[in-house]
Amino acid sequence: MRTVGSVIARRNEEAGGALIGYLPVGFPDFDTSVEAAVALVENGVDIIELGLPYSDPVMDGPVIQAATQQALANGFRLADGFEAVRRITARVDAPVLVMTYWNPVLQYGVDRFADDLVAAGGAGLITPDLIPDEASDWLAASERTGLDRVFLTAPTSTDARIRHTVDASRGFVYAVSTMGITGARADVDAAARTLVGRLHDAEAPAACVGVGISTSAQVREVLGYAEGAIVGSALVDALAKRGVEGVAELAAELARGTRPE
């Protein structure tokens, strides 16, 4: 399996940049969520961000919240997340990053979680509610296992916070394009461009922009200044309304934004 960093570097050499797609495990059901994730890669997505449903998703917008709540109502268990990673990585050659809030990892056991994720073929974690200052256990576990660790920055982050986050991250730094919860927006906030510039000034190896990206034009715009574009709510909405076929069609459309016009 190729690493997150190597995929992003390769896609920036051969195309406009990397496309990262988010979908939650277990929505609308477990098997369909695996098929949808595979369809992402088969239609041009370079890296999968696989969300673990959680009862208090503070960063997620209404589309993702509704999907993860349905997955929880269906009986999602943390073990399902590892099984999903295992099935996906057995079928496609693309890194799978798990997006998870920190409490489930803490309750499961940080070292146990890291070991099980490695065994499943996972590439690392995106942890939206964990800051590097409070991540000593995860930093140690990821160093031991070689897992990537993606921390978030926002337009309000101080220069010191950005530097600290860059130093702690591996794979890429997640640049939140606008303040607030996730969800497709007509325009990606101009603050994202400034934030990515600050990340580059802090020598981030890669900055990927998420929150609010939903069209190939927005992907192309973001890849004009960042190394990757992250799409979530639009893909979840496509899955909810049109199933795996809808996800495949939207992924193919979004991937056009990584290629020259």
60 catalytic, yes or no?
yes
Average pLDDT of adjacent 10-residue blocks, the chain of 261 residues: 90 96 97 98 98 78 88 96 98 97 96 98 96 97 97 94 97 79 52 93 95 90 96 96 98 95 75
Q: Where residue 152 sits, what CATH number does that domain have? A: 3.20.20.70
Q: Which of 35, 46, 49, 189 is catalytic?
A: 49
| Domain that residue 149 falls in | 4-257
159 catalytic, yes or no?
no
pLDDT recorded at residue 179: 40
pLDDT recorded at residue 65: 87
Predicted TM-score (pTM) of the model is: 0.94
d(CA 60, CA 204): 25
Q: Which of 60, 116, 227, 237 is catalytic?
A: 60
Residue 66, classified by CB atoms within 10 Å of its CB into exposed (0-12), middle (13-18) or buried (19+), is middle
- Structural domain total, the chain: 1
